[in-house]
Amino acid sequence: MITFKGEPITLEGTPVKEGDQAPDFFALNHDFEHVRLSDFKGQVVIISAVPSVDTTVCAAQTRRFNIEAARHGIKTLTISMDLPFAQSRFCTTEKINHATLLSDFRDRDFATKFGLRIEGMGLITRAVYVIDKTGRIAYRQICADLGQEPNYEEAIQAARKANA
């Protein structure tokens, strides 16, 4: 069960699991161009899903994975329903230059295929996935509460293991 401020929330669809082939999805970059997961075929990818980069926990998560992406050379995609304009502003203000921010606001392709869209809110729940070089999900954490940060160390260890 996932909660927001102590109240249960429902996800639309069924979240994908560890061991599953990651569904190919597309989302928009800051230029409103489609970026697909398949664009990173053969690479280890961390997907950091957040409700909105304009919140304290989401901003902290995005900053942390930006640092880890630089430190370990692992491709990191942060995905939210924020408009590309807001994401671009956030990246400039916060000096996010190693993680790629993608917006799912228009097509909701990521949220739908990964089963992470919050019913009635139109946001993506907080989650982290590590996709290995073969496109399989090597790690998954869906945070139990929207205000809870993910376990960064577990995610990074899983990404490093998948990259070995």
Query: Which residues carry out catalysis?
Result: 58
Helix (H, G, I), strand (E, B) or coil at 35: strand
Phi/psi at 82 (5° precision): -60, 150
Distance (Å, rounded) from C-alpha 109 to C-alpha 32? 14
Going by C-beta distance under 8 Å and a sequence separation of 6 or more, which residues neighbour residue 121? 9, 51
